[in-house]
């Protein structure tokens, strides 16, 4: 099977197709595309969400939600809404 045959959508799911969509190798590109179509660019993206205080060398009792918001890591509401559209469509139409 060639690389192009692996990329072509087939009505009868193959395991490769299901894994590629469900595991997220396609979804980041569709999120980027949906944001681009909506007029957003890299300047509209927030910083990377920090999940653990230990990742930043902070006190373990730090409220990470507040810390991320204070440090510009919370995306705008519209960016979040638009970036969720691809996964919603994948779930609705492909059952992923």
Two tokens at 78?
């519209």
pLDDT of amino acid 66:
92
Return per-residue pLDDT of the chain as tens, 96 residues: 566 665 565 556 566 666 666 666 677 888 899 999 999 999 998 998 888 888 788 888 889 999 999 999 999 999 999 998 888 887 777 665
Two tokens at 15?
């395991």
**Domain segments of the chain: what residues?**
27-94
pLDDT of amino acid 36:
95
pLDDT of amino acid 78:
94
How deeply is 46 buried, as exposed, middle or buried, from its count of CB atoms within 10 A (0-12, 13-18, 19+)?
middle
């Amino acid at each position: 099977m060639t690389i192009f045959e692996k990329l072509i959508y087939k009505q009868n799911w193959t395991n490769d197709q299901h894994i590629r969509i469900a595991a997220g190798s396609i979804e980041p590109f569709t999120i980027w595309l949906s944001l681009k179509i909506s007029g957003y660019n890299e300047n509209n993206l927030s910083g990377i969400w920090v999940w653990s205080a230990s990742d930043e060398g902070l006190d373990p009792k730090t409220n990470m939600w507040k810390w991320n918001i204070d440090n510009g890591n919370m995306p705008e509401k519209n960016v979040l809404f638009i970036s969720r559209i691809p996964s919603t469509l994948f779930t609705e139409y492909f059952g992923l």
